[in-house]
Amino acid sequence: MRNKKFLVLSIVMLLVLLTVVGCGKEDAKVVDKPSDSTGGNTEVATDIDSEQYLNLILGAEPSTLDASKGADSYSNTILNNVFEPLTRLEEDENQNNFLAAAGAESWDHNEDGSVWTFKIRDNTWSDGVKVRAQDYEYGIKRSLAQDTASPYAFILMPIKNASKVNSGQMSVDELGVKSLDDKTLEITLESATPYFEQLTYQRVMLPQRQDIVEAQGDKYGTELDTVVYNGPFTLTNWVHNSELVLTKNENYWGKDDVKMQTINLKIIQDENAIYNSLANGSVDAAVANRPEWKEKFMKDENLDHIEIVNPSTFFMFFNTQNEVFKNANIRKAFSAAINREEAANVIWNGVNAPAFGWVPPSMNLGDDEYRQVAESPVSKLVEDSDAKALLIKGLEELGMDTDPSKLTVRISLGSTDQWFRTYGEYLQQMYKTNLGINLEVNQMEWPVFDSSVQKGDFQIGYMAWGADFNDPSNMLSLFYSKAPAIGTGWSNERFDELIDLASAEMDPAKRLEYYTEAEHILLYEEAAVAPVVYPRTNSFRYKFIKSLGVTPFGTQGYKYGFTQGR
Amino acid sequence: MGKYIFKRIGYMLLTLWIVITLTFFLMHSIPGDPLAHMAKRLPEQIRQNYYEKYGLDQPVIVQYGKFMKNLVTKGDLGESLRYPGRSVTETIGKNSAVSGRLGFQAIAIGIPIGIILGIVAALNRNKWPDYLVIFIAMLGVTIPVFIIGALLQYGFTVKLEWLPTTGWGKLKHTILPSIAMAFGSIATYARYMRSNVLEVLGQDYILTAQAKGVSPFNVVRKHVLRNSILPAITILGAQIAGVFTGSFVIEKIFSIPGLGSYYITSINDRDYTMIIGTTVFYAALFIISQLVVDLLYGVVDPRIRVSKNSK
């Protein structure tokens, strides 16, 4: 008898365990935060503190130190500081990014920009071995090799034969990457790629030591002693899910620029714990978006307040294969009817900014910030049109009842938490007022949402997308019909053509033209997606911290940071 | 006795096997895959490579066969999908030790205090100590642990600055989380003990003991405590299993590298190997602790010692 009871109990436990699934923190996934490592300017310090250390927060456990595997921003943060990429995206005093020489002391390309040559700098690994061009070559090849199964390898597709190597049709030897000698790395591209330089500081192009990787096997990157380092810092302590310690790397070529001796990164996920830690000074910097804490910290005169625009867009997207949303006018109506300013203020407490374009702010095209020079198609849509009239027109075109109150549509939200419940109710109310339709809200946990979108089992979806590298093509090519990344089922010949044209065009002015038109088609003419807001982050840090930068794409890490007057 | 234990272990293995099998097929039947945690749709080829590498492209039954083979022959639970390269067995081993330390500290604080409070309350029935204990027990049961944790953290690390806010490694890091976790046990045990002691106090043998002139202290120690502690041992079983699995909430608030978070996050991440690993671990602990509790009954109460004719 008792055994049966155990069995029943165990099964009940199991079911309970499975139901608990719902209590996760999905919003963390929907919101793609950029890495906490941001650049800093290089102002000259005269009387810096004798003890140089920082206590910072890392938002979650890094998945791995294997640059080829994993793709989370937390491991990116660590990788940026312990490895030396070919280049770093550094930041000047006006917080403008510029590409700085790092692992490569100089680089050059042939006339049409299809072959790049990098001169590798004299540098030493933490075990005393010299850094060679072959280490960079091996890192790139390993990232693209099929059996590595790197999730992030797709950004390297501009490299010659990358796609065929990744699918196993060609051996890695045929990849367009080779070291001509110990100091020269040559990368051949499929064709000239305007944003190629932006890839040279990505994790999948970091150097790796073949001997170490092969000796460690699957364990490579799982613990701090399975890796050798060649960046400004080395990892000297790693308690999983608790703390990491970075220590200045005395073998690093630029060690004279590195002032920090120790950086303690505490992994703290609980919001209250983060605020408490900043309030009592046990960490030197933290993000605080919750209004009551934000206000409290803004009043604290020991703290600097920095608002960071994340290169990411929160948006609704429509299933264009759906019988209602196949109609462009209906989609336009649903986009035009969103009160973006109100949502930003009411739902996001004024932290996030209303979004009127697809490419988020802080992304550059050439030397300009794209959003500053491109028009905003959604503003135009909102100005030009009456949402309700568009809806009725669309319903007519579909031969449906033109009474909006008879129309019921469903929005799928990829999280089951309370915030999304509130958000869903807000949207219901908003569409009821602005369009007079009935909105059903369907909340599900993220993986379920993800898979139902893939199956096309949705009408309207809502999610976020963060940019991987600093070029508008990264965001706009997501709708390229041959490789769609967002499950709208939408395709448009002219749009595809514009993406093709722009990705082969080296002239920023021309590219701006192409992307502007593409964005206009995507958001104004076709409204396959409806951007809602651009997320922003309120970062606070004690005033003694200097030269830790803020740009979201920046990769100089903690290299130039120091404290003064702690 | 030997035969009894042997038979019990047989049933335990059967139960465990059923739990593993059910979990395995259930977790593969829920929508989503381990790449979903990236919150991005990766290109087809990239996903294909990933599925192939981790054997996820094969039918679930084949994956099940492989998993069982590795588990039975090598005791290997596989490699985490969310944290590439990390062995699930090692992760569970390391993290459950952390949770275990914290859990035992919490029990070591919670049970004695709970038992003493319960006895004090019962002996002072309907007087102020009784009401006070009932009040404390009520608070302990009704206030969620995350509120207790957050309050303790705010009070002792921000206002008083006596203890570190978060972290792990030294005794001082364990104080607040242990206390926060102990609250629940204090409340539970105080309530249990109170009602049991009241029941025992009404028994004839207590009257006999008192009539014999046994001192009140010895009445409590020898007669009341021994007879009223039995039900408390029942709940101990489940608690011991919980000790190693840790508390998701407390670990999150105090940034403790325990096992608790893996139970929740592995499911959200669809980290299949970690889900099955933690489930096997918890199920095994639970079953074993039940056996231990049953054996403890016999030690504490001779009446329930297993005999040949009891089933």
What single-letter amino acid sits at A469?
F
Q: What is the mean pLDDT of chain B?
A: 86
Q: Which 7-36 residues of chain B touch chain A by CB within 8 A?
A: 8, 11-12, 15, 18-19, 22-23, 26, 30-33, 35-36
Higher pLDDT, B309 or A92: A92
A136-145, B32-41, B277-286: which has the highest mean pLDDT?
A: A136-145
Quick check: helix, strand or coil at residue A547? coil
Is A12 within 8 Å of chain B by CB?
A: no
List CB contacts of B131: < 8 A, sequence separation 6 or more: none
Residue A183 is given by DSSP the state T
- φ and ψ at A66, to 5 degrees? -80, 110
Q: Which tokens belong to B70?
A: 């590795």
B201-205: long-range contacts, CB 8 A cutoff, minimum separation 24 = B201/B122, B201/B123, B203/B227
Model pLDDT for residues B29-76, shown as the tens digit of each residue: 988 888 887 777 888 899 999 999 999 999 999 999 999 999 999 888
Contact B53 A464 (CB under 8 A): no
| Closest-CA residue to A532 (of A354, A400, A345) | A354
- Asked whether A236 and A245 are in contact (CB, 8 A), the reply is yes
CA distance A243 to chain B (A): 7
List of chain B residues whose C-beta atoms are within 8 Å of the C-beta of residue A454: 41
Q: How far is CA A537 from the centre of its chain?
A: 14
Angle at A533 between CA A28 and CA A520, to 5 degrees: 125
Model pLDDT for residues A339-390, shown as the tens digit of each residue: 999 999 989 988 999 999 999 998 988 888 899 999 999 999 999 989 999 9
CA distance A293 to A296: 5
Report the DSSP pairing between strands A536-542 and A545-546.
unpaired
Report the DSSP pairing between strands A303-309 and A536-542.
antiparallel
- Asked whether A564 and A45 are in contact (CB, 8 A), the reply is yes
List CB contacts of A535: < 8 A, sequence separation 6 or more: A31, A310, A312, A314, A351, A352, A464
* Among B22, B268, B282, beta carbon nearest to A21: B268
| Closest-CA residue to A276 (of A268, A215, A462) | A268
Is the per-residue pLDDT at A309 higher than 70?
yes
- Asked whether A356 and A336 are in contact (CB, 8 A), the reply is no
Is the per-residue pLDDT at A236 higher than 80?
yes
> What pLDDT, on a 0 to 100 scale, did the predictor assign at position A38?
42
Quick check: helix, strand or coil at residue A420? helix
> What pLDDT, on a 0 to 100 scale, did the predictor assign at position B304?
67
> What pLDDT, on a 0 to 100 scale, did the predictor assign at position A254?
92
Model pLDDT for residues A265-288, shown as the tens digit of each residue: 999 988 889 999 999 899 999 999
- The residue of chain B nearest to residue A71, with distances taken between CA atoms, is B38
Model pLDDT for residues A505-544, shown as the tens digit of each residue: 889 999 999 999 999 999 999 999 999 999 999 999 999 9
Is the per-residue pLDDT at A315 higher than 50?
yes
CA distance B87 to B92: 9
> What pLDDT, on a 0 to 100 scale, did the predictor assign at position B307?
55
- Asked whether A161 and A170 are in contact (CB, 8 A), the reply is yes
ipTM above 0.95, yes or no: no
Report the DSSP pairing between strands A262-267 and A53-58.
parallel
Q: What is the mean pLDDT of chain A?
A: 88
Bridge partners (DSSP) listed for residue A303: A542
Q: How far is CA A174 from the centre of its chain?
A: 30
Is the per-residue pLDDT at A233 higher than 70?
yes
Quick check: helix, strand or coil at residue A564? coil
* Among A17, A69, A276, beta carbon nearest to B157: A276
> What pLDDT, on a 0 to 100 scale, did the predictor assign at position A550?
80
CA distance A421 to A279: 30
- Asked whether A133 and A122 are in contact (CB, 8 A), the reply is no
> What pLDDT, on a 0 to 100 scale, did the predictor assign at position B87?
92
Longest dimension (CA), chain A: 82
Confidence of residue B1 (pLDDT cuts 50, 70, 90): low
Q: How far is CA A164 from the centre of its chain?
A: 26
Report the DSSP pairing between strands A115-120 and A184-188.
antiparallel
Contact B165 A282 (CB under 8 A): yes
- φ and ψ at A502, to 5 degrees? -70, -35
Model pLDDT for residues A404-417, shown as the tens digit of each residue: 999 999 999 999 98
> What pLDDT, on a 0 to 100 scale, did the predictor assign at position B235?
77
Contact A71 B38 (CB under 8 A): yes
> What pLDDT, on a 0 to 100 scale, did the predictor assign at position A460?
96
- The residue of chain B nearest to residue A483, with distances taken between CA atoms, is B43
- Asked whether A146 and A156 are in contact (CB, 8 A), the reply is no
| Closest-CA residue to A449 (of B24, B270, B84, B276) | B270
Mark A168-183 as b/e (b = at least 16 C-beta within 10 Å). Answer: eeeebeebbbebeeeb
Percent of chain A exceeding pLDDT 70 equals 92
Which residue bears the tokens 């999610």?
A463
Pick left, alpha or beta for residue A212 (phi over 0 → left; psi -120 to 50 → alpha; otherwise beta).
alpha
Higher pLDDT, A141 or B224: A141
Is the per-residue pLDDT at B309 higher than 80?
no
Sign of the alpha-carbon dihedral angle for B286, B292, B295, B300 = negative
CA distance A70 to A149: 10
> What pLDDT, on a 0 to 100 scale, did the predictor assign at position B228?
84
Model pLDDT for residues A319-336, shown as the tens digit of each residue: 999 999 999 999 999 999
Model pLDDT for residues B128-177, shown as the tens digit of each residue: 989 999 898 888 888 888 888 888 998 898 888 889 888 888 888 888 99
pTM of the model: 0.84
> What pLDDT, on a 0 to 100 scale, did the predictor assign at position A159?
96
pLDDT, average across residues B203-226: 86
Is B263 within 8 Å of chain A by CB?
A: yes
Residue B154 is given by DSSP the state I
Model pLDDT for residues A172-224, shown as the tens digit of each residue: 999 999 999 999 999 999 999 999 999 999 999 999 999 999 999 999 999 99
Sign of the alpha-carbon dihedral angle for A66, A72, A76, A82 = negative
* Among A154, A166, A276, beta carbon nearest to B165: A276
CA distance B159 to A296: 15
> What pLDDT, on a 0 to 100 scale, did the predictor assign at position B240?
77
Contact B18 A63 (CB under 8 A): no
> What pLDDT, on a 0 to 100 scale, did the predictor assign at position A29?
35
CA distance A131 to A120: 8
> What pLDDT, on a 0 to 100 scale, did the predictor assign at position B306?
58
pLDDT, average across residues A59-81: 92
Q: Which 22-51 residues of chain A touch chain B by CB within 8 A?
A: 23-26, 29-30, 32
Confidence of residue B233 (pLDDT cuts 50, 70, 90): confident
Quick check: helix, strand or coil at residue A189? strand
> What pLDDT, on a 0 to 100 scale, did the predictor assign at position B38?
77
